[in-house]
Structure 1
């Protein structure tokens, strides 16, 4: 499995500097719901410190954690793709500090600077591919563990 890609360190310094010009520092207390699946995806975050759980609602009373994110990780990618709705929910697992980015401002910057846009989209795609690879590995591990348990 490849190493996790961190958005800000993956961007070349000039593009990172322009993107960071749009950043706003925010914090979330432990157990704060940051966003809910189905809500409007109009921003994203890069976690500076703390831990965030990505969750999926499986029944009206049960959520499961599908991934954990920490320092340097990108939180939120649905702002890039129509219909701009969150696919998962997110909750602060501990106190969290993050850089918050307004999606409309970032998309405007990407239109003004197409090179930055291409680099940003490729980096987000690499992050998503890594998360998919990690999830696939976990599912295969669970499947083979259960199969061995039934033999």
Structure 2
């Protein structure tokens, strides 16, 4: 499970102490690939799409994220630059977290840091698989062989 509920209650509550509610109008670009990271989000309502640059082509949508899903994993790992881009495809309400603050929380409490790393790592693994499948569907001669979801 890759939502906030994957975190143990104690660590989820600790993380939530640093959350603030934000809103993004439809069409808002949250971040671009290779950009510097300051924040990450958990979607409350609405849809955020992730895209990836493909040289010589329009950036394909890799995945759509909705309620409870983490937007951004790159903030936890150096060099802390975005590996994909993201846009609000509907109006979005989200919980926003200051990436540097959460990294400091992880350093100050190693058990919290471990649980955050496991949570973000599971998101990362799922996103990489989604990106692989989507790119195969778009550009491989026979696709990925996996039925499309969504």
Q: Same fold (TM over 0.5)?
A: yes
Aligned residues: 144
- RMSD of equivalent CA atoms: 2.3
1:67 is aligned, of 58, 63, 70, to 63
Who is 1:50 aligned against? 46
| 2:99 aligned with 1:81 | no
Are residue 129 (structure 1) and residue 128 (structure 2) matched? Answer: no
Q: After superposition, where does 1:99-110 map in structure 2 within 5 Å?
A: 99-110=95-106
Gap regions ≥5 residues in structure 1: none
Larger Rg: 1
Judge which range, 126-135 or 42-51, deviates more: 126-135
Q: 2: CA distance between counterparts of 1:42 and 1:140?
A: 31
Q: Which residue of 1 aligns with 2:35?
A: 39
The 3 A distance-change label for structure 1 pair 140 and 22 is: same
Name stretches of at least 5 consecutive residues in structure 2 with no aligned partner: 146-150
- Length-normalised TM-score, structure 2: 0.85
Which structure's residues are more often strand, by fraction? 1
**1:30-78 superposed Cα distances (whole Å, 9 cap, x missing partner):** 0110111111012110011100111123357722211111111110111
Could you say if the C-alpha distance between residues 74 and 146 of structure 1 is closer, same or farther in structure 2, counting changes exceeding 3 Å?
Answer: closer
Mapped to 2, the partners of 1:73 and 1:92 lie a distance apart of 13
User: Which structure's residues are more often helix, by fraction?
Assistant: 1
Q: Which residue of 2 aligns with 1:120?
A: 116
Distance 1:146 1:14, change over 3 A: closer
